[in-house]
Amino acid sequence: MRGDIGYRRLDDAFGRERADSITPAHIEAFRDNLAEELSAATVNLHLKLLRAIFMRAVRTQSVASNPVSRVKFCKENNKRLRWLSDEEESALFDALPNWFKPLVTVALNTGMRKAELLNLRWRDVDFTSGTITIRDPKSGEDEHAL
C-alpha cells in the first residue's frame, strides 16, 4: 500500500459511518470488493490498518469492540518461483557495479536470501564438494546449497 491510498480507501468505504455502527459484515464487503482488484496481501494490509485504527479506538474507549477481529483475512500465497530470463540477467549484470557481481552470481545460482548471503563465511564454502553451508536459515536448520 503506497502512502495515503489505504487511508483514502478506508475513508471512501467508512468515512461517513459512525465507528460504532461498522459491523464485521461491512468489513467483509469492503474486503471482498478490494479483492476483486487487489492482491490478497494488499487487501490484508488494508484490513490491518483498519484493525489498528479500531484497536486504538477501543483503547481510548471510543468504541466498545473491534469488528475487524471477527473478520477473516485473505489467504496469502507468498510462494512464487521465478527465474530471470537471459535478457533480464544480462540487463541486471550490465547495471551492477563490478564489486557486486559475485554476490549476485551466488544469489542467482543458489536462491539464497540476502541475510544468508551476507552471513556467509569462508568456512561455509567447500570448493571440493561444490557446496555452501547456510547457517541459521529461515527454516531453522543448517542447509546446503550446491
Q: Are residues 65 and 100 in the same domain?
A: no
Q: Does the residue 75 lie in any domain?
A: no
Q: Are residues 96 and 124 in the same domain?
A: yes
Q: Does the residue 140 lie in any domain?
A: yes
At 121-132, the pLDDT tens digits run 999 999 999 899
In this prediction, residues 31-46 reach a mean pLDDT of 94
pLDDT at 61: 95
Relative orientation angle of helices 24-35 and 5-14, to the nearest 10 degrees? 130
How many domains in the chain?
2
**pTM beyond 0.85:** no
Is residue 14 packed enough to be buried (19+ CB in 10 Å), middle (13-18) or exposed (0-12)? Answer: middle
- 143 — phi, psi (to 5°)? -125, 170
In this prediction, residues 83-111 reach a mean pLDDT of 93
pLDDT at 72: 96
* Per-residue pLDDT at 81 exceeds 80: no
CA-based nearest residue to 23, from 83, 85, 58, 70: 70
Task: Name the residue range of residue 18's domain.
Answer: 5-70
